[in-house]
Chains A and B, each alone.
Chain A
Amino acid sequence: MNTDNISYEKAYSELETIINQLESDALSIELLAEKVSRAAYLLELCTQKMRSIEADIQQIIGTS
Chain B
Amino acid sequence: MESNVFSLYDLGTLIKRVLSLNFQDKIWVKAEIAGCKVVRGIAYLDLIEKEEGQSDKIIAQQSAVIWQGTLQKINGKLSEPITGFLETGREVLVLVQIDFNVRYGLKLVIDDIDPAYTLGKLFQQRQELEKLIYIEKLHEPNKRIALAPVIQKIAVLSNDQAAGYHDFVHQLTENAMNYAFSLTLFPISLQGTLVEETVLNQLKEILKSKYTFDVVLILRGGGSKLDLAGFDSIHICRAISSFPIKIITGIGHEVDETLSDIVAGISLKTPTAVAEYLLYHNQTFETSIQQMVLKINDIAKYKVQQAKLRILRFQHELSLRPMRVIDKTNTKLENIQKYLPNLVDNRLKKEKVKLSYLDRLISLVNIPSTLKRGFSITKILPDNKPLNDGLIANMEIETIWEKGSFKSIIINK
Cβ contact of B350, chosen from A25, A43, A47, A54, cutoff 8 A = A25
Are B319 and A47 closer than 8 Å at their CB atoms? Answer: no
A61 to B347, CA, bound (A): 45
Q: Contact at A32–B326, with CB atoms within 8 Å?
A: no
Given that A19-B339, A32-B348 are contacting pairs, would A57 and B333 also be in contact in the complex, using a CB cutoff of 8 Å? no
Within 326-341 of B, Cβ neighbours of A (below 8 Å) are at: 326, 329-330, 333, 336-337, 339-340
Q: How large is the interface on B (under 10, 10 to 19, 20 to 34, 35 or more residues)?
A: 10 to 19
B315 touches A29 (CB 8 A): no
Q: How far is the CB of B334 from chain A (nearest CB, A)?
A: 9
Q: A47-B333, A50-B329, A61-B318 are in contact. Are A19 and B323 (CB under 8 A)?
A: no
A36 to B319, CA, bound (A): 36
CA distance A15 to B351 in the complex (A): 22
Please, how many residues of chain A have a CB less than 8 angstroms from a CB on the other chain? 20
Given contacts A57-B322, A57-B323, A61-B319, contact A22 B344 (CB under 8 A): yes
Q: Does B343 contact A (CB under 8 A)?
A: yes
A29–B351 CB distance below 8 A: yes
Across the interface, which residues of A come within 8 angstroms of B318, CB to CB? 61, 64
Q: Which residue of chain A has its CB nearest to the CB of B315?
A: A64
Tell me the smallest distance from the CB of B107 to a CB of chain A, in Å: 111
Contact of B337 among A27, A29, A43, A61 (CB under 8 A): A43
Query: Which B residue's beta carbon lies closest to that of A64?
Result: B315
Name the A residues within 8 Å of B348 (CB-CB).
32
* Alpha-carbon distance A7/B36, docked complex (angstroms): 115
Q: Is A4 an interface residue (CB 8 A)?
A: no
Which residues between 14 and 51 of chain A lie within 8 Å of chain B, taking CB atoms?
Answer: 15, 19, 22-23, 25, 27, 29, 32, 36, 39-40, 43, 46-47, 50
Do B333 and A46 touch across chains, with their CB atoms under 8 A apart?
A: yes
Nearest A residue to B346, CB-CB: A22
Chain B proximity of A45: nearest CB distance (Å): 10
- Given the interface contacts A27-B347, A29-B351, A36-B340, does A53 sit within 8 Å of B333 by beta carbon? no
Interface pair A57/B326, CB less than 8 Å apart:
yes
Q: Report the Cα distance A26→B366, complex, angstroms.
A: 31
A25 and B347 contact, Cβ closer than 8 Å, known pairs A57-B326, A61-B318: yes
Task: State whether B333 touches A50 (Cβ < 8 A).
Answer: yes
5 other contacts beyond A32-B347, A53-B322, with CB at 8 A cut-off? A15-B336, A39-B340, A43-B333, A43-B336, A61-B322
Query: Which A residues contact B (CB, under 8 angstroms)?
Result: 15, 19, 22-23, 25, 27, 29, 32, 36, 39-40, 43, 46-47, 50, 53-54, 57, 61, 64
Query: 5 smallest A-B Cβ distances: which pairs?
Result: A22-B343, A57-B322, A61-B319, A54-B326, A36-B344
Chain A to chain B contacts (Cβ below 8 Å), 27 pairs:
A15-B336, A19-B339, A19-B340, A19-B343, A22-B340, A22-B343, A22-B344, A22-B347, A23-B343, A27-B347, A29-B347, A29-B351, A36-B344, A39-B340, A40-B340, A43-B337, A43-B340, A47-B330, A47-B333, A50-B326, A50-B333, A53-B322, A53-B326, A54-B323, A54-B326, A61-B319, A61-B322
Q: Which B residues are within 8 Å of any A CB, using their own CB?
A: 315, 318-319, 322-323, 326, 329-330, 333, 336-337, 339-340, 343-344, 347-348, 350-351
